[in-house]
Amino acid sequence: LSFNQDNTCFSAVTDRGFFVFNTEPYRPLICRDFESGLSLLSMLFRFEVFVLVGSSYSPSPSAAATNTKALLWDDHASRCIGELSFRSPIRSIRLRRDTIVVILLHKIYLYNFSDLKLLHQLETTSNPKGLCEVSQISGPMLLVCPGLQKGSVRVENYGSKKCKFINAHSSNITCLALTHDGRVLATASSKGTLIRCFNTLDGTLIQEVRRGADRAEIYCLAFSPTAQWLAVSSDKGTIHVFSLKADSVVLGDD
C-alpha cells in the first residue's frame, strides 16, 4: 500500500496486479490484472504513469519480471515505456516530476524521468526498508536517506550541491518523513520512543517529541501540509498526533 505525493490517491499491489483508489471521496479508479505479482508500485501525483516492481517471481512478461527490475508503465497506452534493471532487489521507489529514485539495500540511484539517464548514485548503510524521501515542490530536489553510520541521516541538497550528515539517533533509523517542501525532516529509530524534527537547511534540531517509554516499532511518520502536526503510528496499535513548532520556526508562518 502507498499514497501518491499529495495523498489524493493510494495504490495497492497484489499477487495479480494493482488497484488505485481516490481518497476523498473514496472510490476505485483503476484495476489492472497482469496475472502475475507485484511487490511495489509508485505513482506520480494523478498522472497515468506508474513505476512497477515485480515480486521475486513473476512468470508473465506483461508485468515486471522480477523484484530487480523497475518498469515505467503508461496506463493510458497500456504498455511499458521504459525499464531499469539492477543486480539486487529493489527496496522502494520515490518519484518526482523530473526524477525517479530507486532504493536498493546499500545504494540509491537517481534517474532523469524523461530519458532514464543516470543522474547520481549514493551509498547508504544497510537499508532493508528502503528508507528515502524527496521534496516535491518545483525546483532543485532535496533528498534524505540513511547515512553511512548507525543513526545517521544523509541530506542531499541538489540546489546548493551540498551534502550534510545529521546524527539523529544512537540506534538504527527505522522511519523518515519529509515535508512537501523538504525543509523539515522527522526521524525515528529502532527504539521508537523519541521522534526528532530537524531543519534540513542547516541540520539543527527543531523539536523532540516522545511517543512513549516502551520500545516500539514505528510504522509511519506523516506531516500535515503546513507541518503544524506530525502523526506517528506504531505496532502498539495507536496513532499519536503531535503539535509542532516547525511551521513557525522554519516556514515563517505567523
Q: Is the pLDDT of residue 147 over 60?
A: yes
Q: Is the pLDDT of residue 230 over 90?
A: yes
- 173-196 mean pLDDT: 90
pLDDT of residue 56: 65
Q: Is the pLDDT of residue 254 over 70?
A: no
Least confident of 62-71, 188-197, 237-246: 62-71
Local confidence band at 76 (pLDDT 50, 70, 90 cut-offs): confident
Q: Is the pLDDT of residue 111 over 90?
A: yes
The answer to whether the CB of 146 falls within 8 A of the CB of 125 is yes
pLDDT of residue 154: 94
Other Cβ atoms closer than 10 A to 196:
18
Dist CA 51 CA 44 (whole Å): 9
- 41-64 mean pLDDT: 74
The answer to whether the CB of 250 falls within 8 A of the CB of 243 is no
Least confident of 37-46, 65-74, 128-137, 179-188: 65-74
- 135-159 mean pLDDT: 91
- 24-42 mean pLDDT: 90
The answer to whether the CB of 71 falls within 8 A of the CB of 82 is yes
Q: Is the pLDDT of residue 176 over 70?
A: yes
Local confidence band at 48 (pLDDT 50, 70, 90 cut-offs): confident
Local confidence band at 185 (pLDDT 50, 70, 90 cut-offs): very high
Distances (CA, A) of 163 to 77, 142, 201: 39, 10, 10
Distances (CA, A) of 49 to 30, 79, 100, 142: 12, 10, 12, 22
Domain boundaries, the chain: 1-87, 129-253
Dist CA 137 CA 181 (whole Å): 5
**Containing H/E element for 248?**
helix 246-250
The answer to whether the CB of 227 falls within 8 A of the CB of 179 is yes
Fold held by 129-253: Methylamine Dehydrogenase; Chain H (2.130.10)
pLDDT of residue 57: 54
Look at the block and give the residue holding cell 509542532. Answer: 244
Q: Is the pLDDT of residue 119 over 80?
A: yes
Q: Is the pLDDT of residue 63 over 50?
A: no
Sign (positive/negative) of CA torsion 100, 5, 202, 128?
A: negative
pLDDT of residue 79: 86
